[in-house]
């Protein structure tokens, strides 16, 4: 949703507010960085998450200082970035990067219901490794009790996207300097089994 604080001061034409665009970035990225401030001092933490409908879910230890502050409902800013490429121009000034990013302004709601907490942990696990949860040893009540789950609305989320090649100044375009894009990609390498699992078949989702 476009609000004063989701409207960028620079490159406003790169801003996007459609839920579909925001969701696709959130569903592809593997972690978010959550920023908060205590007495004017900013702090930030990278953490795993999942998106379900118009909400973002995170989890953490009940003993985490960060979780205990954020669960009070203080304002947070959640940042997700996918770096898609390096954009090489003919001048340093016109160098850029291709990226898809999301910024969310929100406050936490604590998920108290036991079954909803388990579902959130399943979603966070399956986001990193699709279909993983069904294979796992069942969660215990103690594990769920030791874990806090927080939920954030995506109502005040916005995306910013840059794609394409360099935008050199017209007077630079004929210079004999190579310009173009180096695409970047995050890849998953071959699975390395734990010593307890060397004799076990690799699950199909890996």
Contact in structure between 153 and 106 (CB atoms under 8 Å): yes
**Tokens 């394409």 belong to residue:** 164
In whole angstroms, the minimum distance from the beta carbon of 41 to its own copies comes to 5
Q: Which stretch binds its own copies (CB under 8 A): 15-23, 49-57, 109-117, 178-186?
A: 178-186
When the beta carbons of 40 and 53 are compared against its own copies, the nearer one is 40
Instruction: Tell me which residues in 106-135 interact with its own copies (CB under 8 A).
Output: 121-122, 125, 128-129, 132-133, 135
137 binds its own copies, rule: CB under 8 A: yes
3 binds its own copies, rule: CB under 8 A: no
| Structure-token pair, residue 99 | 């990226």
When the beta carbons of 19 and 122 are compared against its own copies, the nearer one is 122
When the beta carbons of 5 and 18 are compared against its own copies, the nearer one is 5
Instruction: Tell me which residues in 10-39 interact with its own copies (CB under 8 A).
Output: 10, 30-31, 33, 35-37
Interaction mask 53-82, its own copies, x per CB under 8 A: -------xx-xxxx-------xxxx-x-x-
183 binds its own copies, rule: CB under 8 A: yes
**Tokens 């003993």 belong to residue:** 63
Identify the residue among 21, 101, 151, 153 touching its own copies (CB under 8 A): 101
**Tokens 């949703």 belong to residue:** 1
- Number of residues this chain uses to bind its own copies (CB under 8 A): 90
Handedness of CA 155, 84, 123, 141 (dihedral sign): negative
Provide φ and ψ at 40, rounded to 5°: 80, -10
52 binds its own copies, rule: CB under 8 A: no
When the beta carbons of 53 and 187 are compared against its own copies, the nearer one is 187
Query: What distance in Å separates the CA atoms of residue 175 and residue 121, rounded to the nearest whole number?
Result: 54
Query: What is the DSSP secondary-structure string of 42-84?
Result: EEEEEE--EEETTEEEEEEETT-HHHHHHTTT--EEEEEEEEE
When the beta carbons of 54 and 83 are compared against its own copies, the nearer one is 83
How many CA atoms, within 13 angstroms, populate the side-chain half-sphere of residue 193?
Answer: 9
Identify the residue among 15, 19, 86, 161 touching its own copies (CB under 8 A): 86
Query: What distance in Å separates the CA atoms of residue 48 and residue 58, rounded to the nearest whole number?
Result: 6
């Amino acid at each position: 949703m476009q609000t004063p604080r989701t409207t960028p001061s620079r490159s406003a034409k790169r801003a996007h507010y459609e839920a579909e665009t925001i969701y696709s970035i959130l569903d592809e990225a593997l972690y978010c960085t959550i920023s908060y401030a205590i007495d004017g001092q900013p702090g930030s933490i990278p953490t795993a998450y999942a998106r379900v409908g118009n909400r973002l879910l995170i989890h953490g230890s009940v003993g985490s200082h960060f979780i205990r502050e954020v669960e009070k409902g203080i304002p947070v800013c959640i940042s997700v970035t996918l770096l898609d490429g390096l954009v090489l121009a003919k001048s340093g000034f016109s160098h850029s990067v291709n990226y898809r990013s999301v910024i969310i302004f929100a406050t936490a709601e604590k998920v108290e219901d036991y079954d909803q907490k388990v579902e959130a942990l399943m979603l966070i696990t399956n986001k990193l490794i699709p279909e993983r949860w069904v294979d796992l040893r069942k969660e215990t009540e103690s594990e769920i009790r030791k874990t806090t789950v927080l939920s954030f609305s995506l109502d005040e989320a916005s995306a910013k996207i840059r794609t394409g090649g360099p935008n050199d100044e017209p007077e630079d375009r004929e210079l004999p300097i190579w310009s173009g894009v180096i695409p970047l990609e995050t890849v998953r390498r071959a699975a390395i089994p734990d010593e307890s699992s060397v004799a076990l078949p690799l699950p199909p989702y890996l």
